[in-house]
A and B are shown apart, each in its own frame.
Chain A
Amino acid sequence: MEPEAMKMLAIGLAAGLGLLGPALGIGLIGYSALQGIARNPEASGSIMTNMILVTAFCEAIGIYALIIAIILAMIV
């Protein structure tokens, strides 16, 4: 396989597979946050704040994968 084709494959796989985990993670966070709000609507402010916080951590991991894909596409 030529190097160009392998590079395209690497970029696609890095971005695609790397963003699978964080997407699932954010979905799980949203699921538990909505369950908590449904059980206890008064605590929804505090639940939302914590949900945003944990989502930030999870999303950062996805951004790492995206950065690797961008570096592969532009610099390598």
Chain B
Amino acid sequence: MPKRGRLGFSFPVLAGAMLVFLLLLVVGFIVGPLGRSIFGDLGLPGWLSVPPPAPELPAEKVFHLLGFPITNSIIGAWLTIAVLVGFSCVVTRRMKIVPGRLQSAFEFLLGWLYNLCQRVAGEENGRRFFPVVATIFLFVAFNAWLSLIPGFGSITFATAEGEQVSLLRGANTDINMPLALALVSFVFVEYFGLRSLGVRYLGKFLNVGQFFRSVIQIVRGRLRAGLSGLFTGFIHIFVGFLEALSELVRIVSFTFRLFGNMTAGEILLLIAAFLIPWVFAIPFYGLELLVGFVQALIFSGLTLVFLTIAVAHHGEQAT
């Protein structure tokens, strides 16, 4: 048994691995566009270099189904759904009280999400919000992570028009999917707010109570109190309008946050793989894994926070 050194490998194995890595890095540098501009065209075989990236913002249509154009990001989303549903079926088919490895991994994941919901929203609210928040988290995270599997964007398909289009694309990079998720989050926030508070939830946006009260005060003759109340009433109406506006702007900000992060990450990976082929993109892969997880957490966490704010009884009457 060779002596185990750093990282669990013996020293010769570690030195050999680092040497191979360095060799790949140097060869990649020479073959890529940076090396080509320094050393000129060395006549190396074509399969060593990577074609320049051509990212397209609108998703490309692959085929038409019953008159609807099916884009490659929809196929990516279907793949994510298949993976999630498949995992859930496999894990819950034979559930044991003392769980096996896969089941306990899923229990850990869902337990962590449930604790997050309960920590932010409280006991019974946490239970009510858990399905929406967990679905958004799992969908966004698996969309981001599955698009990092090697070969994801490389499978091409010949469309009916004859051009070669990649078959799969991460669903978060098409702007329609983050927009759909943001709309889902918005609708659920309004739904839970209306269900908890009734029609008084809309009183947060149409805050005309103070205005009418001061009008009645003026009519009854108490002029000074009425006028100051009228001024405060105008401020309340304006603040309510701003609240309604910020609810709508939230949709835009959710969409662009997720879309921007995912698209920028994909373009970064493509350009890193183009500049120094083969091994230079590995740290960026790690960054993309982290960014996918953080963006999913932020999307679902912000949805949870806005849900909590929406169902809170606002007992405070602002000045």
A residues whose Cβ falls under 8 Å from a Cβ of B: 52-53, 56, 59-60, 63-64, 66-67, 70-71, 74-75
Residues from chain B with Cβ under 8 Å of A74 in the complex: 55-57
Chain B contact residues, majority secondary structure: helix
Do the beta carbons of A66 and B264 come within 8 Å of each other?
yes
A49→B177 CA distance, assembly (Å): 26
A66→B253 CA distance, assembly (Å): 14
B57 to A, closest residue via Cβ: A74
B267 proximal to A (CB < 8 A):
yes
Do the beta carbons of A56 and B302 come within 8 Å of each other?
yes
Query: Which of the residues B55, B260, B297 comes within 8 Å of A52, measured between beta carbons?
Result: B297
Do the beta carbons of A53 and B55 come within 8 Å of each other?
no
B261 proximal to A (CB < 8 A):
yes
Do the beta carbons of A63 and B264 come within 8 Å of each other?
yes
A46 to B, closest residue via Cβ: B119
Query: Which of the residues A52, A63, A70, A71 comes within 8 Å of B261, measured between beta carbons?
Result: A63
A60→B253 CA distance, assembly (Å): 7
- Pair count A-B, CB < 8 A: 40
- Count of chain B residues with Cβ under 8 Å from any Cβ of A? 18
Write 5 A-B pairs (CB below 8 A) sorted by A numbering.
A56-B257, A63-B260, A64-B256, A67-B259, A70-B264
Known contacts A66-B264, A70-B57: A60-B297 contact under CB 8 Å? no
Residues from chain A with Cβ under 8 Å of B267 in the complex: 70
A71→B267 CA distance, assembly (Å): 13
Residues from chain A with Cβ under 8 Å of B302 in the complex: 53, 56
Query: Which of the residues A53, A63, A75 comes within 8 Å of B257, measured between beta carbons?
Result: A63
A53→B305 CA distance, assembly (Å): 10
Minimal beta-carbon separation of B177 from chain A (angstroms): 16
Residues from chain A with Cβ under 8 Å of B305 in the complex: 53
B263 proximal to A (CB < 8 A):
yes
Minimal beta-carbon separation of B50 from chain A (angstroms): 19
B298 to A, closest residue via Cβ: A56
Residues from chain A with Cβ under 8 Å of B298 in the complex: 52-53, 56
B301 proximal to A (CB < 8 A):
yes
Return the CB mask of B224-256 against A: 1 if under 8 Å, else 0.
000000000000000000000000000001001
Residues from chain B with Cβ under 8 Å of A59 in the complex: 257, 261
A56→B253 CA distance, assembly (Å): 11
A74 to B, closest residue via Cβ: B57
Minimal beta-carbon separation of A58 from chain B (angstroms): 11
